[in-house]
Amino acid sequence: MSPKKKTKKHRSLFSRVTIIFILIAAGCFALYVAYLDKVILRKFDGKRWTLPAVVYARPLELYAGLSLSPNQLIKELKLAGYRNEKQKLTPGGYSQTAETVHLVTRDFYFPEGLQRSMNISVTFSGNKIKNISRTDSGENVSIARLDPARIGSFHPKQHHEDRIVLTYAELPEQLIKTLLAVEDQNFYSHRGLSPKSIARALWANIRAGKTVQGGSTLTQQLVKNFFLSNQRTLRRKFNEAIMTLLLEAHYSKQEILTAYANEIFLGQDGARAVHGFGLASQFYFKRDLKDLSASQTALLVGMIKGPSYFDPRRHPKRAQSRRQLVLSIMRDRSIIDDNTLQQALASSLKESTMTTSGFNRFPAFLDLVRRQLRNDYREEDLTNDGMRILTTLDPHVQWQVEEHLGESLKNLRQSTGNKDLEGAVIVSSRESAEILAVAGGSRPLQASFNRALDASRQVGSLIKPALYLSALENKYTLATAVDDRSITLTNQGEKNWKPQNFDRKEHGRVALYQALAQSYNLATVRVGLDVGVKKIIQTVNKLGIDRAFPPYPSFLLGASSMSPIEVSQMYQTMATGGFYIPQRAINCVFASDNTLLNRFGLSVEQRFTPESMYLLNTALQHVVSEGTGKTLSRFIPASFKIAGKTGTSNDLRDSWFAGFSHDKLAVVWLGRDKNKPSGLTGASGALVAWAKIMRSLSLKPLQLTEPPGILWSYVNPVTLEKSNRFHPQSIKLPFLQGTSPNPINSEPRPPYNQLKKPIKSFLEKLRSLFN
């Protein structure tokens, strides 16, 4: 074969191989494009964003006569993201003149439906609301419910992206025009890639000798942020170009623009990433996007280039310079006029720098909310579906708890020398069992060990009311004589147990109510053994503690461990008069479209008779008036008739106080995480913190509801025999019908020698007149 023919044959073979190679490459490219297309369709047609559940405090309801100061109202308005506006008020704005606060509420969905914005004026008289009226008409308003404060959100563990998803119709025209003027002027004419923009950016970068301008279109930016990583590689750029073309082929310009407006990263709120113009508007300006001014719109659009670099809080000069540039572009494109430009250029950045974090402001309370939600919802429901959760948190109560717990711990650390002293607090509504505040430690903003929920510590004498309740249901009365004398218990194969009183003394024969009031251990053990340890454990379970306890005699003196939240539930059942109401931190749950999913109403079960609970709660009032809790009167007047109980564990390791007024119940625990002695009794530690917290709240004096069948009698607390009101030492106690030693309504005339001295003296003088 001639060389010419050989060459021709080789060329033909090479051509065939080249064609085959090209076909294979084209096929692989087509398959890869099909794969990318599938990725786009799957993610863009499905759930585009994982939306965290948003958690709100309880809505503040205003009415005439409510105990609330103007400063308290304004503090709560600020927590809810309200702005202090000096000119015309808009939704989410307020102003104050003398004793009146003017405000405009925001639309909000409640279980009853959408509540529209209201423009109202709230007039105060001292620290109470005097009157509420509509600002425009002057018409009186009987009750005004404010939109609640956002206090946190639940994010997936992998990331903390947050956003408010908007539709295209909710994007203001001014924002759209400004965004396109700055980021992509040819958005509506290109098909995803803009050769002109790329060439213009390339030339600008060559002239500057560095990267000063990008050539990416809005669609390219969306693809990079939504589908790809931030790696600067040729492969990523290749994928970006292909996916940009595919995205433009499948979706309209409106859909792409809307997705971009919701996806774009615009700042950082601690661990929470602020995405989208909707959330950024709330985060930086506390306004809905539709209410932004030209200068505010310019700032947000300008931050796209570098949210951290142009952060108005950390770099105000950079942010202002960037904002001025965007405003100039807005004027050049006739988006704003000269007058608006001048006003915008003169406006301050101050409002955008005074942001309030909406990321888990009260982590201990949110921890409780999350745990209660897990009873009904999966974890992915809480972190992906954008649910809205209305809770029972009362911000004013929470702030008082944080302030006074911190102050008390600071003082007690100094007095005891224990620098690691910690504490926990639970405050709830006495009637509804709604939890109003939770403190898990001395650092309320730190999401660390939540002692209110997880610190399982010996409760000491806090267990005694359950024991005495069992006794009252077992033929004991408040005046039953019990022996406070030494006792030794022998357990086969174990060391003898010989309990002691706190003062190391015996007090002999005392009344049952005195044994509880003075927290006598010896009398308590004797009563407990008579009633039966297992019976008392059953009472503790009925009070709301859902766990098993070993029936050891030491259980009678609180050797068992509970968390503050468990103690709170136990005392809640006492405070409600024997009705078990599960404590709850949630009012209702909405879907992301504001559909009501669940409303957590009251669940009430009567577990004890009102009569026995009335006797017990009367005895708990004696604890405070004359027993181990009597120092409470240094902080709260005795007229409030608080019922409560101190608790101290062995070696002063734990300090407890649980008590309630007519409207609020609170439990306080103080101790050291390593379970070392704290140097505090219940009265010298937890009671002090409890008192400081509760006196800062608007408490109502406790008025126990006396059930039918209760009779009152006078008893001599020394002899424990029947007495009368004329005896100087007699005390009046309630009894169940048929158990009273001396009913008041059948009380005999007292002997002459028992009359009080003034009366006796008067009768003697009267007698002398006739002698």
pLDDT tens-digit series, residues 285-335 = 888 898 899 999 999 999 999 999 999 988 999 999 999 999 999 999 999
| DSSP H or E run through 397 | helix 395-416
Q: Contact 223/244 with Cβ under 8 angstroms?
A: yes
Instruction: State the Cα–Cα distance between residues 187 and 219, nearest whole angstrom.
Output: 8
> What burial class does residue 534 get, using C-beta atoms within 10 Å of its C-beta: 0-12 exposed, 13-18 middle, 19+ buried?
exposed
Checking 345-353 for CB contacts under 8 A at 24+ apart, the result is 345/295, 347/293, 347/295, 349/299, 349/312, 349/316, 349/319, 349/320, 349/323, 351/83, 351/285, 351/286, 351/296, 352/284, 352/285, 352/296, 352/299, 352/312, 352/313, 352/319, 353/312, 353/313, 353/316
Mean pLDDT, range 647-658, rounded to an integer: 97
Residue with the two structure tokens 């009167």: 633
Torsion angle in degrees (nearest 10) through CA of 570, 572, 576, 577: 20
CA angle 350, 352, 357 (to 5 degrees): 120
Identify the band that residue 9 occupies on the pLDDT scale cut at 50, 70 and 90. Answer: low
Between 15-19, 122-126, 574-578, 605-609, the lowest mean confidence (pLDDT) is in 15-19
- As given in the structure block, the two tokens for residue 585 are 């931190």
Amino acid at position 563, single letter: S
pTM metric for this prediction: 0.82
> What burial class does residue 747 get, using C-beta atoms within 10 Å of its C-beta: 0-12 exposed, 13-18 middle, 19+ buried?
middle
Concatenate the DSSP letters of all residues of 328-385 into one string: HHHHHTTSS-HHHHHHHHH--SHHHH-----S-SSHHHHHHHHHHHTTTS-HHHHHHB
Greatest CA separation for the chain: 170
Give φ, ψ of 667 to 5 degrees.
Answer: -125, 130
Catalytic-role residue among 76, 183, 351, 566? 183
Instruction: State the Cα–Cα distance between residues 580 and 542, nearest whole angstrom.
Output: 8
Percentage of the chain beyond pLDDT 90 is: 62
Identify the band that residue 753 occupies on the pLDDT scale cut at 50, 70 and 90. Answer: very low
User: Looking at residue 368, what is its pLDDT?
Assistant: 97
Q: Contact 653/675 with Cβ under 8 angstroms?
A: yes
Between 10-14, 280-284, 396-400, the lowest mean confidence (pLDDT) is in 10-14
**706 three-class SS:** coil
Q: Find the distance separating the first CA and the last CA of the chain, reported in whole Å.
A: 170
Beta-ladder partners of 122: 101, 132
**pLDDT tens-digit series, residues 510-540:** 999 999 999 999 999 999 999 999 999 999 9
Neighbours of 334 (CB within 10 A): 9
User: Looking at residue 747, what is its pLDDT?
Assistant: 45
Neighbours of 78 (CB within 10 A): 16
- Catalytic residue status for 461: yes
- As given in the structure block, the two tokens for residue 132 are 């509420």
492 has pLDDT over 70: no
**145 three-class SS:** strand
* Pairing of β 605-606 and β 579-580: antiparallel
**133 three-class SS:** strand
Mean pLDDT, range 109-122, rounded to an integer: 95
Instruction: State the Cα–Cα distance between residues 116 and 134, nearest whole angstrom.
Output: 13
User: Looking at residue 410, what is its pLDDT?
Assistant: 96
136 has pLDDT over 80: yes
Concatenate the DSSP letters of all residues of 405-439 into one string: HHHHHHHHHHHH--TTEEEEEEEEETTT-BEEEEE
**pLDDT tens-digit series, residues 573-600:** 999 999 999 999 999 999 988 999 999 9
Q: At what angle do helices 521-531 and 533-542 cross, to 10 degrees?
A: 90
CA angle 420, 424, 428 (to 5 degrees): 170
User: Looking at residue 500, what is its pLDDT?
Assistant: 95
Residue with the two structure tokens 């759930």: 47
* Pairing of β 481-484 and β 508-511: antiparallel
* Structure-model confidence comparison of residues 728 and 648, the more confident one: 648
Of 131, 89, 81, the closest CA to residue 108 belongs to 81
Instruction: State the Cα–Cα distance between residues 632 and 697, nearest whole angstrom.
Output: 15
Neighbours of 240 (CB within 10 A): 20
Amino acid at position 725, single letter: R
**pLDDT tens-digit series, residues 332-391:** 999 999 999 998 898 888 666 555 555 578 999 999 999 999 998 888 888 778 899 999
* Structure-model confidence comparison of residues 71 and 194, the more confident one: 71
652 has pLDDT over 50: yes
Residue with the two structure tokens 């992998």: 158
User: Looking at residue 607, what is its pLDDT?
Assistant: 97
Instruction: State the Cα–Cα distance between residues 462 and 540, nearest whole angstrom.
Output: 11
Residue with the two structure tokens 């859902």: 546
Instruction: State the Cα–Cα distance between residues 238 and 247, nearest whole angstrom.
Output: 14
- Catalytic residue status for 506: no
* Structure-model confidence comparison of residues 647 and 216, the more confident one: 647
Distance (Å) of CA 86 to CA 97, 103, 274, 288: 11, 11, 28, 18
Indicate the length of the chain as a whole number: 771
Amino acid at position 138, single letter: G
Instruction: State the Cα–Cα distance between residues 390 and 399, nearest whole angstrom.
Output: 19
Instruction: State the Cα–Cα distance between residues 308 and 268, nearest whole angstrom.
Output: 8
Residue with the two structure tokens 């009894």: 735
555 has pLDDT over 90: yes
Of 601, 466, 623, 589, the closest CA to residue 532 belongs to 466
Task: Outline where DSSP puts E strands in 558-709.
Answer: 561-562, 579-580, 586-590, 596-599, 605-606, 643-648, 654-660, 664-672
Beta-ladder partners of 150: 56
11 has pLDDT over 70: no
Identify the band that residue 145 occupies on the pLDDT scale cut at 50, 70 and 90. Answer: very high
**316 three-class SS:** helix
User: Looking at residue 249, what is its pLDDT?
Assistant: 82
Distance (Å) of CA 298 to CA 83, 173, 322, 333, 739: 20, 13, 8, 13, 80
User: Looking at residue 759, what is its pLDDT?
Assistant: 44
What is the spatial order of strands in the sheet that 272-275 belongs to? 161-162, 272-275, 265-269
Catalytic-role residue among 121, 352, 429, 461? 461
